[in-house]
Amino acid sequence: MLIVQKYGGTSVGNTDRIKNVASRVAKYHAKGDKIVVVVSAMSGVTDNLIKLAKDIMPLPSERELDVLLATGEQTTIALTAIALHALGIPAVSMTGAQAGIVTDGVHTKAKIQNISPKRIHDLMNQGNVVIVAGFQGQTIEGQITTLGRGGSDLTAIALAAALKADLCQIYTDVDGVYTADPRIVSSARKLDEISYDEMLELASLGAKVMQSRSVEFAKKFGVVFEVRSSLNENPGTIVKEETKSMEGIVVRGVSLDKNQAKVTLVAVPDKPGVAARIFKAIGDANINVDMIVQNISHGSGKPATDLSFTVDKPDLLKAQKVIDGLKKEIGYGEVIATDNIGKLSIVGVGMKSHSGVAGKMFETLAREGINIDMISTSEIKISVVVDLARGEQAMKAVHAAFLPA
Amino acid sequence: MLIVQKYGGTSVGNTDRIKNVASRVAKYHAKGDKIVVVVSAMSGVTDNLIKLAKDIMPLPSERELDVLLATGEQTTIALTAIALHALGIPAVSMTGAQAGIVTDGVHTKAKIQNISPKRIHDLMNQGNVVIVAGFQGQTIEGQITTLGRGGSDLTAIALAAALKADLCQIYTDVDGVYTADPRIVSSARKLDEISYDEMLELASLGAKVMQSRSVEFAKKFGVVFEVRSSLNENPGTIVKEETKSMEGIVVRGVSLDKNQAKVTLVAVPDKPGVAARIFKAIGDANINVDMIVQNISHGSGKPATDLSFTVDKPDLLKAQKVIDGLKKEIGYGEVIATDNIGKLSIVGVGMKSHSGVAGKMFETLAREGINIDMISTSEIKISVVVDLARGEQAMKAVHAAFLPA
């Protein structure tokens, strides 16, 4: 088997942990597997480097930040190779550039354009474990680039695709993907498998095991990967294309996002172009909008609607300012803003073929006496906004209804 | 003017010092000079990285050590470029590989084979200060290499040669090369200029401003360089090919090496091949021999000689063991070993054309009542071994005799 294993910053946080990683790799090596190991910078290192740069200049050049940050993973690859040598296992480290990872030139958030896996194949065929620096690449002109947040996962998945690996393992500090956050829902269970689309919805909903773009990349290239813990031997969660059998399960998981805030414009004149004007202005201010709900406004003579949307909590003040600036132009009634909300979502590909899912969710919440502020649905997801104080109660109830122990 | 400036680890030891370096570069930039800056790792960084590696394995792979250590200079180049940006000066960092520094594949002590300066020239012609990582390069196959101790000086001098620079400045924490160590000889003076050969003799004699091989490289390629302080604006010492005018000065400097030990074999049979046998065995044990003196032995019936040599102090025990092992084979009388010595040297190209220099040195020591144990001379140097306890006294007296205040 050809296996790509990725270890994050916590898993390589000090020399003892790097030795643990080497021991795990050694077990696979002993079975005769060919192994490519992708590592992140040791935890804390990247933040320290950024701090050094900002000590000198608050907004350092992104090209130079990439040169600086790339040293973090380069340090780890060398130490990991040495740790394998200490166990008598032949191993060779490679920077992103050496591994043939070619990116575009968008510094600090480069996209992988191409991987030339020849050198890695050659080194593996000579019996080596190959250790590749995650998070980094090189432009065709030889500039050092980094891939942005979650970049090491992306490196691993892209390498698995380029090498046609049999298995891609993403080692992290959790056991896999759960039906809900086990710190909140004690009956939450680890999933054996999940589809890319479900994982994407969960990733964007606060179950932050992996960044969306790594999952999107895996989906695009059909890379099956496993999310599992580097702290134990438990099998993790397999993430793969949706199968017929997956549709038997209506709800795969429940998530609660406490990092949203809500803005409601009451009595917005109901004429074409108003919503476009509002969200253009919000977008121009670099504010990400998540849910948007519009409904008929009652209690007004003229045709008008109420318009609500959610943004990330830290952006709430900025969003209010934008909306205040539009008051004269648009002439809405009033603005109600609150960051006292939680967004509860249920996700599952089985929803496509099962009816009554939304009804059951709303009924469950009603039985708990929890009011629903906003509703938004997609093919495989239903999200509702509730009072923040009731969020965890709502999550537990919905989890119990759809995923009984 | 095209200037190559090199700053060592102390000069870039923290972000404030890096800002100071940038301010200095800015002054030259304001004059319209084209500048290439070569930087070392921030002081302490390289040692920390080595410690991490040795935590994992006492004798780490030299290939991986190079991957690891190269991150030190890569960090500094990015920070230095950012510090120049903060002053509004266009600057671009380059790793050894990016700067086109091609080396052989002898990891941890690679030799520079070739420098392709095209990219540096292009960047300078676009108005950039170019910041190059010292101490590192890349093999033709793309392996990361480091140049060993003093490697950043070598990078600077090699770049100055390849770029045909008008000036190469080696910034350090001393003001230049002195006639003697000013901590011992209060009347020591900074030299305005010194020849490569004199600098080489002083470098190998304990006046450790620079490693010999950087000076040798500069001599070979005719690179004139200046050793000066990064802590003030004082002019430093120009190191260049010997000129006629230099010969007017008989003694350029006086140095005292306290790190030598002496081994004497008494009554060695005076027959061919004995010395060869001894120094072959010493060499095989990787012990560096500095001075060797042989003289007729008195007080023995058979033809015999006394043979003395000096080694680095830490090698003394090892050298004694080697000699003990040869006792039966060679049949010498006895061995006397001591590390209680100092090696005092005077250096100057003017000695070639001046007679009586040795006599004056010995006479000076005699007047001080200091006994001479060994004498060794070259065309531009006279070294004597004296009792360690009298070393500084000897140095002061000789300095006063040849270089009066």
C-alpha span between B232 and B176 (Å, rounded): 12
DSSP letter at A42?
Answer: P
Q: Which structure tokens are listed for B327?
A: 């006792």
Question: Model confidence over B268-305: pLDDT tens digits?
Answer: 888 888 888 999 999 999 898 989 988 876 665 677 88
Q: Residue B64: its chain A contacts at CB < 8 A?
A: 78-79, 81-82, 85, 93
Q: Which of A52, A64, A85 has the CB atom closest to B81's CB atom?
A: A64
Domains in chain B, number: 1
- Min Cα separation A167/chain B (Å): 27
- Residue A152 is assigned to a structural domain of this protein: yes
Mean local confidence (pLDDT), A291-313: 82
Q: Determine the Cα–Cα distance for residues B116 and A403; give it in Å rounded to an integer.
A: 65
Q: Rounded CA gap, B286 and B295, in Å?
A: 25
Confidence of residue A296 (pLDDT cuts 50, 70, 90): confident
Q: How far apart are the first and last CA of chain B?
A: 36
Residue A75's pLDDT is 98
Report yes or no: B34 and B124 within 8 Å, Cβ to Cβ. yes
Question: With bands split at pLDDT 50, 70 and 90, how would you rate the model's confidence at A149?
Answer: confident
A180 falls within a domain: no
Contact B53 A86 (CB under 8 A): no
Residues B11-39 as b or e (16 or more Cβ within 10 Å = b): bbbebebbbbbbebbbebbeeebbbbbbb
Q: Cα distance from B87 to chain A (closest Cα, Å)?
A: 9
Which pLDDT score is estimated for A219? Answer: 96
Residues of A in contact with B67 (CB under 8 A): 74, 77-78, 81, 93, 95
Mark out chain A residues that contact chain B at CB-CB < 8 A.
Answer: 15, 18-19, 49, 52-53, 55-57, 60-61, 63-65, 67-68, 70-71, 74-75, 77-79, 81-83, 85-86, 92-93, 95, 98, 142, 144
The amino acid occupying position A58 is P
How confident is the model at residue B205, as a pLDDT? 64
Q: How far apart are CA A341 and CA B110, in angstroms?
A: 61
Q: Does the structure show a pLDDT above 90 at A245?
A: no
Percent of chain A beyond pLDDT 70?
98
* Cross-chain residue pair B74–A78, CB shorter than 8 Å: no
Is pLDDT above 80 for A268? yes
For residue A135, being part of any structural domain is answered with yes
Interface residues on B facing A, Cβ-Cβ cutoff 8 A? 15, 18-19, 49, 52-53, 55-57, 60-61, 63-65, 67-68, 70-71, 74-75, 77-79, 81-83, 85-86, 92-93, 95, 98, 142, 144
Instruction: Please give the ipTM for the structure prediction.
Output: 0.85
pLDDT at B204 over 70: no
The per-residue pLDDT for B272 is 80
Q: Is A137 helix (H, G, I), strand (E, B) or coil?
A: strand
CB B370 within 8 A of CB B387: yes
* Interchain pair B83, A56: CB under 8 A: yes
What number of other Cβ atoms are within 10 A of residue B357's Cβ? 18
The C-alpha of A61 sits at a distance from chain B's nearest C-alpha, in angstroms, of 7
The answer to which of A30-34, A128-132, A340-344, B271-275 has the lowest mean pLDDT is B271-275
For residue B299, the tally of other CB atoms under 10 A from its CB is 8
Nearest chain B residue to A61, by CA: B82
The tens digit of pLDDT for each residue in B80-115 reads: 999 999 999 999 999 999 999 999 999 999 999 999
Six-digit token pair at A12?
């390589």
- Whether residue B136 contacts residue B145, with contact meaning beta carbons closer than 8 Å, is answered with yes
Query: Residues B320, B325, B330, CA angle at the centre, nearest 5°?
Result: 105
In a domain, A371, yes or no: no
pLDDT in tens, A210-230: 888 899 999 999 999 999 999
Q: Please tell me the distance from the alpha carbon of residue B398 to that of residue B347, in angstroms, as a whole number.
A: 12
- How many other CB atoms are there within 10 angstroms of residue B238's CB atom? 17
Integer Cα distance of A173 and A191 in angstroms:
16
Q: How far is A56 from chain B (nearest CA, A)?
A: 6
Q: Are B163 and B223 in contact (CB under 8 A)?
A: no
Q: What is the pLDDT of residues A80-119, one digit of tens each?
A: 999 999 999 999 999 999 999 999 999 999 999 999 999 9
Contacts of B101 (CB under 8 A, 6+ apart): B112, B115, B132, B136, B137, B138, B155, B158, B159
Contact at CB, B57 and A86, closer than 8 angstroms: yes
pLDDT tens track for B338-355: 999 999 999 999 888 888
Q: What is the pLDDT of residue B298?
A: 67
Among B52, B56, B67, the residue with its CB nearest the CB of A93 is: B67
- Residue A337 lies inside a defined structural domain of this protein: no
Choice between A329 and B87, residue whose per-residue pLDDT is larger: B87
CA dihedral A235, A237, A239, A243 (to 10 degrees): 100
Check residue B355 and give its pLDDT: 84
Chain A residue whose CA is closest to B51: A15
CB–CB of B265/B259 below 8 Å? no
In angstroms, the CA A364 to CA A342 distance is: 16
Strand residues in B201-340 grouped as ranges (E): 225-229, 237-240, 253-257, 260-269, 289-296, 304-312, 334-338
Q: pLDDT band for position A355 (50/70/90)?
A: confident
Give the pLDDT band of residue A206 (cuts 50, 70, 90). low
Backbone angles phi, psi at B154, to 5 degrees: -60, -45
Residue of chain A with shortest Cα separation from B55: A15
DSSP A370: P
AA letter at B302: K
Mean per-residue pLDDT, B306-310: 92
Q: B318 vs chain A: nearest CA distance in angstroms? A: 29
pTM recorded for the entire structure: 0.86
Q: Is the dihedral of CA A169, A174, A175, A179 positive or negative?
A: negative
Digit-coded pLDDT (tens) for B135-184:
999 999 999 999 998 899 999 999 999 999 999 999 998 899 999 988 89
Question: What's the CATH number where A37 sits?
Answer: 3.40.1160.10
What type of residue sits at position A161? A
The whole-chain average pLDDT of chain A stands at: 93
Mean pLDDT, chain B, as a whole number? 93
Find, among A293, A242, A222, the residue nearest to A263 by Cα: A293
The answer to whether the Cβ–Cβ distance between B74 and A67 falls below 8 Å is yes
- In tens, the pLDDT along A330-350 reads 888 899 999 999 999 999 998
Out of B15, B49, B74, whose CB is closest to A52?
B15
DSSP category for residue A24: H
* Nearest Cα residue in chain A from B64: A78
Amino acid at B232: N
Which residue matches tokens 């509730």? A386
The answer to whether residue B216 sits within a structural domain is: no
| Amino acid found at A387 | D
Over residues A382-390, the mean pLDDT reads 95
User: CB under 8 Å to A111, separation ≥6 — which residues?
Assistant: A103, A104, A147
Cα angle: A80, vertex A171, A29; to 5 degrees: 55
Residues of B in contact with A83 (CB under 8 A): 56-57
Starting at the edge strand that comes first in sequence, how are the strands of the sheet with B334-338 ordered? B289-296, B304-312, B260-269, B334-338
Instruction: Report CB contact under 8 Å: A82, B15.
Output: no
Asked whether residue B101 is assigned to any structural domain, the reply reads yes
Q: Nearest by CB to A71, from B52, B75, B82: name it.
A: B75
Instruction: Determine, for residues B67 and A81 on separate chains, whether the beta-carbon distance falls below 8 Å.
Output: yes
Q: Quote the domain boundaries for residue A47.
A: 2-173
Whether residue B64 and residue A85 make contact (CB cut-off 8 A), yes or no, is yes
B167 to chain A, closest Cα gap in Å? 27
DSSP state of B190: B
Q: Cβ(B120)–Cβ(B36) under 8 Å?
A: yes
Give me the helices (H) in A251-390, please. 274-284, 316-330, 357-367
Over 60: is that where the pLDDT of A300 sits? Answer: no
Task: For residue range B27-75, list pLDDT tens digits in order.
Answer: 999 999 999 999 999 999 999 999 999 999 999 999 999 999 999 999 9
In a domain, A139, yes or no: yes
